[in-house]
Structure 1
């Protein structure tokens, strides 16, 4: 008798428990992009690929169901553009017309702020279009000797959806998918390897940083590294690194940030779409106009630094020495700036203190998803008159905003930014004044 499969501890079961099909009316779209309906037991039921007011049939039991049929479709339903949409876990909302989809994101942002008792002016959202993502993470699994399987994880599963197209990605990345499958083929010498290709489109070509290759056994053999370099050359890639270690270099990956040309360190963070970066940078620059001294905290490679340095001298800090080094080196490519002093500094353990902020009249912070609780507390204690917050996580932004508001700031306006198209994710920039 075959033993039953055991569920791996900590991993969600991708399949809903068995249960007969049942009819539901969708009341709203939940935070993960699934439709929400009431069950006969009174609790919510979540059904993917459904929209408000639709009448549907779904199967399964518990609070997670699978859509079987749409009996009455919403007028806001549109045909999804991607053939992988119902299997792939990358996009949850391709079936929703753009206008109501974007309005839903803005209302989610408004609700997140309201939970911290924050009201403010919410401006019209910036929305990235299809084919604009310059940065994607593609998972690889063993395929043939010539080409790996490559794509995104399936919905609520550790399985891989092997993709042929990706409508969110820049056409240069989409066109490279067959070559990237060949590039990944030599990465599976060790059975525990589960590589991810972090692909960034730069001005000089595709930059690939590969993580998840088992290293404890010695990493890739010389033969596998040679195959990797051959495939990179055949695909005309700019650079390939293995968790930051150089494996192939044809051209230094560079991007233009404002007036500067920045040589990117391996695995460097960039905003996901150039359009969103331009909109956010313009908004931050407009809000900082008239400053005499600026602090750019969590500066990265200088997304906002170079634009701000056209206005006033800037102190820039980030925990990543590689990012700060790239920013500093790029200063030579941007003559005419007001001056930049850059420092590698852990702003969680060592935030910029209120005393250090005495001469700063505009402070910008752009932290990771965990937010900037420690730095926000110092800004609250300081005399800085204007703060600009950039965030990829509205919940931690709202928490940090509450700290500033309690210290006498007003959140005057917020720009929502939708650069992760068809996902539930929304970003923002907010302007605070005392």
Structure 2
């Protein structure tokens, strides 16, 4: 490892600054285009030692836990708090543009839809037992080291105010030495905490955890490895105007504001579709919004999520008919004959995308498609398949649901031209 003086020229795909050298590119976290720095360099990675000449695009991070300076910093939750907003938004939109261009797709990408700090309603914390209780925070980037936090500028006020509660409950849970995760959802009427741990609980542990949750007013439910230990009140979310009780640890869009933007784009695009199919429907983020205007068939592999969707639809007056189907779309995608009855379709798969399913959609007669993804690379691959099948992209909208990270949500709208 050697110390080198470097000029940072641009940001890479993960948010690291890039310096061009005779030996090749060097990636240095926590740097900004225009910075002149010294870094400890090993192969293609650099560790920032000093900023000799700061870029005009460098700003003061709003979070005390952000940065490479000491053990209390570099929590790994954010990568780009030090970058001026204009440069940051251009870079993040560029992730989508680059992914499309790599597939030869020419489409107009709208400006990035911003999301404010303090709006992240679902946060996944890391925790581990220590001699002084549980340490609660985030894993430092490319490390298993947990950096303890006492605030998170992207999370909602309720999650921040509940951090002492979450830490106390993590201490109650931490019966093993191994690290574990707590997915915390800000719902009505309180925090929904889902623990995912590599160790088991004894009956005495369960009773202790249940007692601890009962004494914490902000905690509504706690589950352990999918099992509900205590539910004081069922957590609630609103998908449009429909109230849903999400299952423990179930998929939820990270930001309510981002979800509303996505919902408006999808429902607006499919408003003339009498019958719509929602693939990878989850608990009904789109299906229950669409049911206010269309007959909806929701398909999802996760049984608890699908049950939550079904219960919400059944108890809500004024919706169009909603049917549900438990089905693994990776192993058994909807076939051409099954798709022919729908005029509209939305799909929101995991990061791996929906290549096999999209191959059947590309041959279908579905008129309007909304493609939602948190991975521009796999989305571009899926869009290329649809374009080759005759579909035309009408809009691509990047949404900054994952503020100050290298992740971006995208909604692409397509239609099949009249023949």
Q: TM-score range by the shorter chain?
A: over 0.9
Residue 354 of structure 2 corresponds to 372
2:60 to 68, 72, 79: 79
Q: Deviations over 1:309-367 (max 9, x none)?
A: 11211111001111111111001332111211111111111111111111211111110
- Are positions 1:343 and 2:329 aligned together? no
In 1, Cα distance between equivalents of 2:268 and 2:87: 29
Is 1:99 the counterpart of 2:86? The answer is yes
Superposition pairs of residues 236-315 of structure 1, within 5 angstroms: 236=217, 237-315=219-297
The 5 Å alignment of 1:43-82 reads 43-82=24-63
Deviation of residue 62 (structure 1)? 1.5
| 8 Å Cα contact 1:261-1:333 kept in structure 2 | no
Q: Contact between 1:144 and 1:185, CA under 8 Å: does it hold in 2?
A: no
Who is 1:416 aligned against?
398
Give the drift of 1:170.
Answer: 0.6
In the superposition, the TM-score normalised over structure 2's length comes to: 0.95
In structure 1, the partner of 2:191 is: 206
Whether contact under 8 Å (2:134, 2:174) holds in the other structure is no
2:172 to 183, 186, 195: 186
Question: Is residue 127 from structure 1 mapped to residue 114 from structure 2 by the alignment?
Answer: yes
How far apart are 1:127 and its partner, in Å?
A: 1.5
- For the pair 1:155 / 2:141, whether they are aligned, the reply is yes
Structure 1: 5+ residue stretches without partners: 1-17
Contact 1:187 1:213 in 2 (8 A): no
Confirm whether residue 115 of structure 1 aligns to residue 98 of structure 2. Answer: no
Find the partner of 2:123 among 120, 132, 136: 136
Q: Tell me what 1:353 maps to.
A: 335
* SS at structure 1 position matched to 2:45: coil
Q: Distance in 2 between matches of 1:420 and 1:235?
A: 29
Instruction: Kindly provide the CA deviation profile for residues 153-200 of structure 1, in whole angstroms up to 9, marking residues without a partner as x.
Output: 012211110111111111111111122111111333333x32111111
Structure 2 gap segments, 5+ residues each = 68-73
| SS of match in other structure, 2:358 | helix
Matched residue, 2:182: 197
Equivalent position SS for 1:349: coil
Q: What SS is found at the alignment partner of 2:289?
A: helix
| Maintained 8 Å contact 1:179/1:231 | no
Give the number of aligned pairs.
409
1:37-75 per-residue CA deviation (whole Å, 9 max, x = no partner) reads 02342x110111111122111123221111111122121
Helix, strand or coil at the partner of 2:130: coil
- Look up the SS of the partner of 1:414 in the other structure: strand
The answer to whether the 8 A contact 2:33-2:57 is kept is no
Is 2:159 the partner of 1:173? yes
